Structure 1
Amino acid sequence: MSAASVVTERAMSEPDGPRAVLSVRDLSVSFRSDTRTVHAVDAVSFDLAPGEVLAVVGESGCGKSVTSMAAMGLLPPSATVTGSIRLDGRELAGASDKELQKVRGKDIAMIFQEPMTSLNPVLTIGRQIGEVLRRHRGLGRREARERAVELLELVGIPAPRQRVDEYPHQLSGGMRQRVMIAVAVACDPGVLIADEPTTALDVTVQAGILEVLQSLRERLGTAIVLITHDLGVVADTADRVLVMYAGRAVEQAPVHELFAAPRHPYTAGLLSAVLRPGAEGKRRLPEIPGLVPSLDEQPDACTFAPRCANADERCLAARPDFEAPAGTRHRDVPHLAACWHPVPVPAPRPTAGPDLPADKNKEDGQ
């Protein structure tokens, strides 16, 4: 267990609960146009503890990226945002652009999905990193350049003094992603949002990017919201997982508990569709039947019901609460699910004991 994980676990077990560096409550986001209104996020709540990695997973269009963009205050004017987004106790929902500019890059930062479209192609790498430092730290041009070199070295870019004067098109995709990380952590923000940071990168480069994020967490105590489709990345990186479906949070749990005993049928479906080593060609991967529903409205019902084999009239008539399902063991970090018919908890595997055949065979000398 990493040092940051120990800190997070200790914070989560405090009697009064952890002091969240980022606290989201009943966040809803809708987009209006001339013909329709799309309810992209519906009453999502979560906390992020210092030094914790929270993975947010779900199918495309479930609201993961919209939730993160709302936290950063980067949604377009067509978006209507309600609920609360508190960063170290400061309310960001409804804050003015001037107020948000003071915290973006300094207290909360984001690694965007496409570094080539996020980096300015006509400015050098050093200048783009230095802009954040000059704005929030008041550094001069020469000081900012030296700090940019240090940051490039921190994120694992070779020959940083050479690269600091190069342009984005001169770097590989993996190096551009590392530059995005350097820009995001330039001012040591308490919260880092990583939106699909390993998309379109080969496996080796992905591993390097994730190693950089883990190192930043351990060295700087950065809390990370990791948005990804890759459940393998989640298993290796996250402390806790938030599963979203059709704009809603449907399950939340510590990562190992969620993988071992998912309580929501949607989560169980996602995990069953993961390819296991050695299983190639042996069977067709299970599929979740049906399609993601339209987000033109959010019904007072379970949105997963049309695709769920266990759905009944209750699922179609009332929205389930987001709470600890019956049969869930009490933990300092709760396991929550929004389901009227949660997946049963697997029975614990028995261990060898005096009354088990294993011991009897041992006594018989077999």
Structure 2
Amino acid sequence: MTNPVLSVRDLSVSFRSDTRTVHAVDHLSYDVAPGEVLAVVGESGCGKSVTAMAVMGLLPPTARIEGSIRLGGTEIAGASEKELGRVRGKDIAMIFQEPMSSLNPVLTIGRQIGEVLRRHQGLSKKEARARAVELLDLVGIPAPAQRVDEYPHQLSGGMRQRVMIAIAVACDPSVLIADEPTTALDVTVQAGILEVLQSLRERLGTAIVLITHDLGVVADAADRVLVMYAGRPVEQAPVHELFAEPRHPYTRGLLGAVLRPGGEGKRRLPEIPGLVPSLDAQPDACNFAPRCAHADDQCTTRRPGFKAVSLDAGADAAHRAACWHPQETPVLTPTTQEAGQ
């Protein structure tokens, strides 16, 4: 990998209350190179969005953050609000979930896009409006000169999501975090949003951290995949390799539950038995062991390292898993074929 534009090392995030402490993220590390798309996947509650909010410095005061977050070589973990204000929207930006609730309903689209331009680039009101029109055109919104003066409720869900993208890329950030950018959108609109993100990556060389549940989106858009479970990283690999040869039992369970179109009648989808563990206390062992058919005494008493799945791989191995007994049998899913195309 070339020098990463975003580097996260041993990131841990916990939330304290009067009665308990929740460990939402536990020793997570990853790098993202310029122009790369890293997909972060896992079921709800595994820590994907909390990680993104920690990187952006948007967690509440009840959150305790440990570890390192370096943006372009500059440490931003623990930075003051003033320091973060200089880089948010300019060097790193985020596309939030639920664009209707993220956009201000009483301000026009143009004013909301123009705010970041005036703050970080010092544009006048007139210049910011003109640039907002250009950005709306860039993200594929028709009649941008008309839409710029409209309010969020006048736009469809897909258009509002495109507005969120326009705000996020207004200052050409080096890193873009996209948190579920295609959730609740129909397939056609979803394809349009992914096309916009790919276009921005190609034009601007933006590194993208794509948070999603949709493995089809991952196969179509990502270069590498990071799989999280209960706040911990469990597997990381190039997208084609992850779909063709998943090694962690949890990853295999996710891929095995993908719908297979046609010819299977009333086949019941396989499920991962058991429940997600409570995050009140992270065990010093494999936290997936209670749900794993291959778990033994070693799994329940010692925490596996996040290491290369191949004994022949070096220290910079691209495919890693946190498992004492990584599986080798391929898992055949529809997305395996998609990823290999």
Please tell me the TM-score bracket, short chain as reference: over 0.9
Deviation at 1:276, TM superposition (A): 1.8
How far apart are 1:326 and its partner, in Å?
A: 3.7
* 1:159 corresponds to: 143
| Seq. identity, % | 82
What is residue 115 of structure 2 aligned with on the other side? 131
State how many pairs are aligned: 331
Whole-Å Cα distance in 1 between the matches of residues 252 and 313 of structure 2? 18
Q: Deviation string for 1:41-60 (max 9, x for gaps)?
A: 00000000000000000010
Q: Deviations over 1:244-297 (max 9, x none)?
A: 000000000000000000010000000000012225534111100011000001
Unaligned runs of 5+ in 2: 332-341
Cα distance between partner residues in 2 of 1:333 and 1:239 = 15
Question: Where does 1:138-287 land on structure 2 (aligned, <5 Å)?
Answer: 138-279=122-263, 281-287=265-271
- What TM-score does the superposition give when structure 1 sets the normalisation length? 0.88
Relative distance call for 1:328 and 1:305 in structure 2 (3 A) is farther
Among 81, 94, 97, the alignment partner of 1:113 is 97
Counterpart of 1:116, as a letter, is M
Residue in 2 that maps onto 1:20? 4
1:25–1:85 Cα contact (<8 Å) kept = yes
Change (3 A) 1:294 1:103: same
**Partner residue in 2 for 1:3:** none
- TM-superposed deviation, 1:150: 0.1
Amino acid at match of 2:279: L
Distance 1:22 1:279, change over 3 A: farther
For the residue of structure 1 that corresponds to 2:39, the secondary structure is: strand
Q: 1:314, 1:150 → 2: CA distance?
A: 58
| Distance verdict in 2 for CA 1:57–1:94, change over 3 Å | same
**Contact 2:308/2:317, CA 8 A, preserved across alignment:** no
Cα contact 1:125–1:167 (8 A) shared by 2 = yes
Which residue in the other structure is 2:307 paired with?
A: 323
1:80-119 matched pairs, under 5 angstroms: 80-119=64-103
Shift of 1:332: 6.7
Moved over 6 A (4+): none
Query: Distance between the aligned counterparts of 2:46 and 2:82, measured in 1?
Result: 30
- 2:246–2:330 contact (8 Å) kept in structure 1: no
Larger Rg: 1
Residue 15 of structure 1 corresponds to which residue in structure 2? none
Unaligned stretches of 5+ in structure 1? 1-11, 13-17, 348-366
Instruction: For residue 325 of structure 1, report the CA deviation from its aligned partner.
Output: 2.0
1:125, 1:168 within 8 Å by CA — same for their partners in 2? yes
Q: Contact conserved, 1:254 with 1:333, CA < 8 A, in 2?
A: no
**Residue 122 in 1 paired to residue 101 in 2?**
no
8 Å contact 1:328–1:345 — kept in the other structure? no
